[in-house]
A = this chain, B = another copy of it.
């Protein structure tokens, strides 16, 4: 299988670097090939076309990304903790790979409808992880009943995504992992002044 050959990963890693450094539209196949240390034609032994590099890149990297999140969250007890771990691991992983963060938050979004559709398919697995945590939270009595699952998913994903994008666009100048707890708290409790505060 092609995915296990060393050049497959080699090219994908080169693509992440090149795209992060040059931007999506200045990332010619020849540039990626050069960075990967292979001939232009070699790219096409491992990928159908340029778009396929990007889809594969996303599948490969997001696959690991989600796996890690699944690992970390399952070990937690409550939905609340799981959600916190999810946010923390989400931020942590992107903070650990600056190039990948730029690519996923900015450059890959410049792709066309088709590619974006394929990217969304990869994301579904992640959204399922979120859904399950929410489900557990409701069953545990921690989260409200009657929540619109789709909206909740959008709130959680949308907020994390927006937070990471802002961090990337501010050139990753602060530590995003520090914001995990606050984000978690906002998602769980919202803006409203809560009881404890009120009682103080």
Contact = CB atoms under 8 A, between A and B. Distances in A.
User: Chain A interface secondary structure, helix, strand, loop or mixed?
Assistant: helix
A141 to B, nearest CB: 6
Interface string A15-40: 00000000111000000000000000
Tallying the copies of this chain within the complex gives: 4
A106 B191 CA distance: 29
A190 B112 CA distance: 33
B106 A113 contact: yes
B189 A189 contact: yes
A60 to B, nearest CB: 22
Interface stretch (A3-11, A44-52, A64-72, A180-188): A180-188
A116 B168 CA distance: 13
B141 A193 contact: yes
B186 A189 contact: no
A162 B158 contact: yes
8 smallest beta-carbon distances between A and B, as pairs: A158-B162, A190-B190, A158-B158, A189-B190, A154-B162, A143-B191, A110-B110, A158-B159
